[in-house]
Amino acid sequence: MAIIGNPKYEQRIERHLAKYETKRSAVMPLLYIAQEEYGWVNSDGIGEVAQILNLDPTQVKSIAGFYTMYSEKPKGKYWLQVCTDLPCALQGADDFHAWLKDELGVDEGGTTDDGLFTVEHVMCLAACDKAPMLQCNFRYVEELDQNKMRQLLAKWRSEANGRG
């Protein structure tokens, strides 16, 4: 599909454009919409955002590249971002991150062969009293340990298989 002319996004785009004094200000919310549609910020999405805002695609691309939450390549179905910043690391987050990569057989930033999981480490997520913790597709999952994580991975696997 596309985001332009897609009834799923029409109202949201209108609402964002109405919020700001300039069209350009809507570039961040629109990039989120492009990411939602395509799974990552690809050149189609960048082109459409540029078209809606009357910007040059290279300008939109540089904005997308500046921020870590816009993905410039496809990720696994479950994008796991483990916080390994200092407070979490004091509670064992480095070991947890290493274990998780091992458990899934991926390197930093890598995606499992079945396309389900991408593992990355990130900086402080404002959940330092609930370490170890991660974000799965930007949802907080806190107070983790290996057991809890194994159960979650199993749940996500069956969820993915169930949906085909």
Residue closer to ligand FES by CB (options 36, 143) is 143
Which single residue is written with the structure tokens 């590249």? 65
| 38: contact with another protein by CB under 8 A | no
Q: Which residues lie below 8 Å from residue 38, measured CB to CB, with a gap of 6+?
A: 44, 45
Residue closer to another protein by CB (options 105, 109) is 109
Residue closer to ligand FES by CB (options 44, 142) is 142
- DSSP, collapsed to helix, strand or coil, labels residue 139 as strand
- Give least dist CB 87 to another protein, A: 4
- Give least dist CB 113 to another protein, A: 27
Taking a C-beta distance cutoff of 8 angstroms, is the pair 85, 124 a contact? yes
Q: Using the CB atoms, write b or e for 41-72: b if 16+ within 10 Å.
A: bbeebbbbbbebbebeeeebbebbeeeeebbe
The single residue among 74, 87, 105, 109 that binds another protein, judged by CB under 8 A, is 87
From residue 55, give the alpha-carbon distance in Å to each of 24, 27, 29, 61: 8, 9, 15, 10
| 124: contact with ligand FES by CB under 6 A | yes
Interactions with another protein, residue window 112-131 (CB under 8 A)? 122-129, 131
Which single residue is written with the structure tokens 């596309």? 2
Interactions with ligand FES, residue window 53-92 (CB under 6 A)? 83, 85, 87-88
Q: Hey, what are 125's tokens?
A: 């997520």
Type and span of the H or E element at 91: none
- Give least dist CB 161 to another protein, A: 27
Interface residue list for ligand FES (CB under 6 A):
83, 85, 87-88, 124-128, 131, 133
Interface residue list for another protein (CB under 8 A):
19-22, 24-29, 31-32, 53, 62-63, 66-70, 85-87, 89-91, 122-129, 131, 135, 138-140
